[in-house]
């Protein structure tokens, strides 16, 4: 469970970022598509981990904020013709504002009640997206969300010759990178330490004078804001927003990503997102019963690898290191 604060000798994050930035030059539209998907959902999963791994709150409704972000940005850009920058900012604010309102109810309850409430509120958001035809497009959603104007990229050297999808991917990569940097700063800040203290022992945290609920709420809002950020990016990537974005199955999916990668590590959820998306891509080629496979994966995770991939690898490395020292 404990986030890993070891000194890293190799700047893995930078290496991965640079490698990811090279994807458009592989020349395949499909690789760019996959990489965009992974980058956005990695951020979504990491935002959930602020609650799950750092604050110790099991949210089963995180997709609500993803959906709010996606819808806000898409509606502003499509219906009102606003720029992408404004849309993204508004999406993040809207998601944070909703997280503040819903979170205020949710943090009053603990444990299982918290999970149920987050789920119930997410279903409200889903129901609104599903029913409010005049604004959200109802069941059909909003399609043909415009791409941000990235014409300026065409005039840049090297990048200019790439496709529009590649341009958007590079933009996503930069924006996701910025968000990850912010999240990393947050979890390593004194604020992040307080969240960890709350996770480890809420009563004790209360005794040393921490207002537990207020910090939990703050964590909920920050996580919601980053989910909204990811949602806004995803809506444009997907060229449309649909009520499914806020559905509880989406909330569960991102939870599974986080657990699969390992919630004890900052990068665990991102790795989980990558694995799950690649796996989904592979398995969909063979069968339409992806939920069945996902369910089986989940059972294996719960019973065999509760710490996720990162946890398992970490334990393996630790064992090797101990053997070397012995």
Partner 1 sequence: MLDPAFLLAQCISGLTAAMFLFIVASGLSLIFGVLRVLNFAHGSFYMIGAYMAWQITRWAGANSVSFWIAVPGAALAVALLGGIVERLFLRHLYGREELYQLLFTYALVLILGDVARIVWGTQQLTVARPAGLAGGLEVLGIVVPHYNLFIIALGPAIALACWLLLSRTGTGRMVRAAAQDREMLAALGADVGKLYTLMFMAGSFLAGLGGALVTPVRSIVPGMDVDIIVEAFIVVVIGGLGSFWGTFLGAIIFGQVLAFGILIFPGFSIFAVFVLMALVLVVRPSGLLGREVKR
DSSP state of 72: H
CB atoms within 10 A of CB 232: 32
Nearer to partner 1 among residue 247 and residue 314 (C-beta) = 247
Binding characters for partner 1, 222-261, by CB under 8 A (x = yes): --------------------------xx--x--xx--x--
In the chain, what is the straight-line distance between the N-terminal and C-terminal CA atoms, in Å? 26
User: Which segment (89-97, 145-153, 184-192, 287-295) binds partner 1 by CB under 8 A?
Assistant: 287-295
Q: Give me 116's structure tokens.
A: 């149920």
CB of 125 to partner 1, least distance (A): 10
- Angstrom distance (rounded) from CA 262 to CA 273: 11
Tokens of 121: 């509120």
Q: Exactly one of 113, 160, 214, 317 binds partner 1 (CB under 8 A); which one? A: 113
304 binds partner 1 (CB under 8 A): no
Q: Does 284 bind partner 1 (CB under 8 A)?
A: no
Between CA 312 and CA 147 the distance in angstroms is 40
- Identify which range of 103-111, 154-162, 171-179, 276-284 contacts partner 1 by CB under 8 A: 103-111
The residue length of the chain stands at 326
CB atoms within 10 A of CB 73: 32
Residue 123 engages partner 1 in binding (rule: CB under 8 A): yes
Indicate the DSSP class of residue 143.
E
On whether the CB atoms of residues 13 and 180 are closer than 8 A, the answer is yes
Q: Decide whether 34 or 252 has the Cβ nearer to partner 1.
A: 252
Instruction: Choose one: 67-75, 90-98, 107-115, 158-166; the region binding partner 1 (CB under 8 A).
Output: 107-115
303 makes contact with partner 1 (CB under 8 A):
yes
Shortest Å distance, C-beta 289 to partner 1: 5
Selected binder of partner 1 within 2, 29, 108, 163 (CB under 8 A)? 108
Q: Closer to partner 1 by CB, 197 or 252: give it.
A: 252
Site size toward partner 1 (CB under 8 A) is 38
User: Hey, is 80 helix, strand or coil?
Assistant: coil
Which string of DSSP letters, residue by residue, matches 233-292? Answer: HHHHHTTEE-GGGGSHHHHHHHHHHHHHH-TTSTTHHHHHHHHHHHHHHHHHTT-S-HHH
Least separation in angstroms between residue 33's CB and partner 1 is 25
How big is the CA angle at 280 (ends 123 and 179), to the nearest 5 degrees?
65
Q: Which of 21, 93, 100, 120 binds partner 1 (CB under 8 A)?
A: 120
CA distance 234 to 271: 18
Q: Give the per-residue contact string, 47-66, with partner 1 (x = CB under 8 A; - = no).
A: -----x-----x-x------
Tell me the sheet residues that pair with 143: 240
Binding interface with partner 1 (CB under 8 A): 52, 58, 60, 105, 108-113, 115-117, 119-120, 123-124, 127-128, 131, 248-249, 252, 255-256, 259, 289, 291-292, 294-296, 298-299, 301-303, 306
């Amino acid at each position: 469970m404990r986030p890993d604060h070891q000194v890293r000798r190799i700047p893995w994050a930078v290496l991965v970022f640079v490698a990811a930035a090279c994807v458009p030059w592989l020349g395949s539209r499909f690789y760019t598509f996959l990489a965009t998907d992974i980058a956005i959902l990695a951020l979504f999963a990491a935002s959930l981990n602020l609650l799950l791994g750092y604050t110790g709150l099991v949210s089963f409704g995180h997709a609500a904020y993803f959906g709010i972000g996606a819808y806000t940005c898409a509606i502003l850009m499509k219906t009102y013709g606003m720029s992408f920058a404004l849309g993204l900012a508004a999406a993040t604010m809207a998601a944070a504002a909703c997280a503040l309102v819903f979170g205020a109810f949710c943090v009053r309850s603990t444990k299982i009640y918290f999970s149920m409430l987050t789920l119930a509120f997410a279903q409200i958001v889903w129901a609104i997206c599903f029913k409010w035809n005049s604004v959200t497009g109802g069941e059909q959603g909003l399609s043909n969300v415009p791409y941000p104007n990235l014409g300026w990229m065409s005039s840049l050297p090297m990048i200019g010759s790439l496709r529009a999808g590649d341009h958007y991917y590079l933009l996503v990569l930069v924006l996701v990178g910025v968000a990850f940097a912010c999240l990393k700063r947050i979890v390593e800040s004194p604020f992040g330490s307080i969240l960890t203290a709350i996770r480890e022992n809420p009563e004790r945290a209360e005794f040393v004078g921490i207002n537990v609920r207020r910090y939990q709420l703050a964590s909920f809002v920050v996580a919601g804001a980053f989910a909204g950020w990811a949602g806004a990016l995803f809506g444009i990537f997907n060229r449309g927003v649909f009520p499914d974005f806020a559905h509880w199955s989406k909330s569960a999916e991102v939870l599974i990503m986080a657990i699969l990668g390992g919630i004890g590590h900052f990068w665990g959820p991102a790795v989980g997102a990558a694995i799950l998306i690649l796996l989904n891509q592979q398995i969909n080629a063979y069968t339409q019963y992806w939920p069945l496979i996902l369910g089986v994966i989940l059972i294996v995770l719960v019973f065999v690898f509760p710490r996720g991939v990162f946890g398992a690898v970490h334990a393996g490395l630790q064992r090797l290191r101990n053997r070397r020292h012995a």
